[in-house]
Amino acid sequence: MANLSPPTKTLGVTLLHKCNFHCAHCGYLYVDESEDHDLKPGYRMTWDQIQRVIADCNSIENEIFSFVINGGEPTLWEEGDLTFIDVLLAVAGGNIHPTYNTNGSYFVDYAQCHEFLHRYAEESEISLMTFVSIDKFHDNYDREKGRAEILDNVVRVLDEMPVEKRDLHRVHVVSIVSKDPNSFLPSEMKEHYGASGITFGDFPMQPIGRAKELMDEMPDSEEFFKNMPPPPKNDKLSYPIGTLLGEYYLHKGKKVAKLGNLNDLIAIAAAGV
């Protein structure tokens, strides 16, 4: 039986550079070179590196980890016969809670969506958190109908599952918003999918990467976050310790330890350096 205790530490895992979108508001220029990010074209974590970071986390006693898996677009990862679902199952199989960010394009194909969500629920006992980007910049929803094919497929698949399997999947929509009031998703759309358990959150566009070209649309982030309710205080909630980029752990943007030396990263993070 897998350990279902809540994670105590969160590690960012940068899986690959490749993306199938070319969004105007992209903060990391995943498709091109970027001075704002260490991620460069051609970067991809290997299966061996994935196995090693899982082992690294399992070597730390009395800690339960959560991975926040980013790219590029992580669903594009593959190596031989292995695909992204194998990465998620390996992470969960290592008693680590997987979370990932996606543009949702993988789930436009219903058959793919069905196989992905069902396989995870059948082969894992740890819940999976999917953060999917849907907004006017991705343009991946029907503005007139207030519906998204991505979410329609996810809801349809989850509705077919037994409750105990469906409960392993949590889906949260992230919408990047600008100064334009029309950049917010329709309230009726949020209510419609909210009835199926999908949650929504808005996030202000940031002046990073390609989005720097949209400065006239940039909202006041300080004002935006000031109006958001503070997160609940709970010592049991996980906290971030850094990011893995290939062979190196990064803390506050600097390489601080090599893969295989996770203890060093934890010590630096704990010291607040």
Whether omega for the bond prior to residue 242 falls within 30 degrees of 0, making it cis, is no
The rounded mean pLDDT for the chain is 89
Would you state the pLDDT for residue 27? Answer: 67
- 42 found inside a domain: yes
Domain, as residue range, for 100: 9-271
In a domain, 1, yes or no: no
- Specify if 2 maps to a domain: no
Query: In this predicted structure, what is the pLDDT of residue 1?
Result: 36
Question: Is 249 among the domain residues?
Answer: yes
Task: Tell me whether strands 9-14 and 254-258 are parallel, antiparallel or unpaired.
Answer: unpaired
Alpha-carbon separation of residue 28 from 23, 38, 58, 268 (angstroms): 10, 9, 30, 25
Q: Please tell me the predicted confidence (pLDDT) of residue 2.
A: 44
Per-residue confidence band for 227, with pLDDT thresholds at 50, 70 and 90: confident
> In sequence order, what are the residues at sequence separation of 6 or more whose Cβ sits closer than 8 angstroms to the Cβ of residue 136?
143, 178, 180, 182, 183
The verdict on residue 224 lying in a domain is: yes
Q: What angle do CA 90, 265, 39 make, to 5 degrees?
A: 70
User: pTM above the 0.95 mark?
Assistant: no
Cα separation, 170 vs 225, in Å, equals: 24
Could you give the number of structural domains in the chain? 1
Query: At 176, is the pLDDT very low, low, confident or very high (cuts 50, 70, 90)?
Result: very high
35, pLDDT greater than 70: no
pLDDT band, very low/low/confident/very high, at 70 (cuts 50, 70, 90): very high
DSSP character for 103? -
Question: In this structure, is residue 3 part of a structural domain?
Answer: no
Give the alpha-carbon dihedral of 67, 73, 75, 81, to 10 degrees.
Answer: -100
CA triple 232-236-242, angle to 5 deg: 95
8 Å CB contact between 29 and 37 = yes
- CATH number assigned to the domain comprising residue 51: 3.20.20
| Residue 160 placed within a domain | yes
At residue 239, φ and ψ (nearest 5 deg) are: -135, 150
The residue to which tokens 């995870």 are assigned = 120
The residue among 236, 237, 2, 1 whose CA lies nearest residue 96 is 2
Separation of first and last alpha carbons in the chain: 37
Residue 162 resides in a domain: yes
Q: What is the pLDDT of residue 30?
A: 40
pLDDT band at 273 (very low <50, low <70, confident <90, very high): low
Cα–Cα distance for residue pair 224/204, rounded to 1 Å: 7
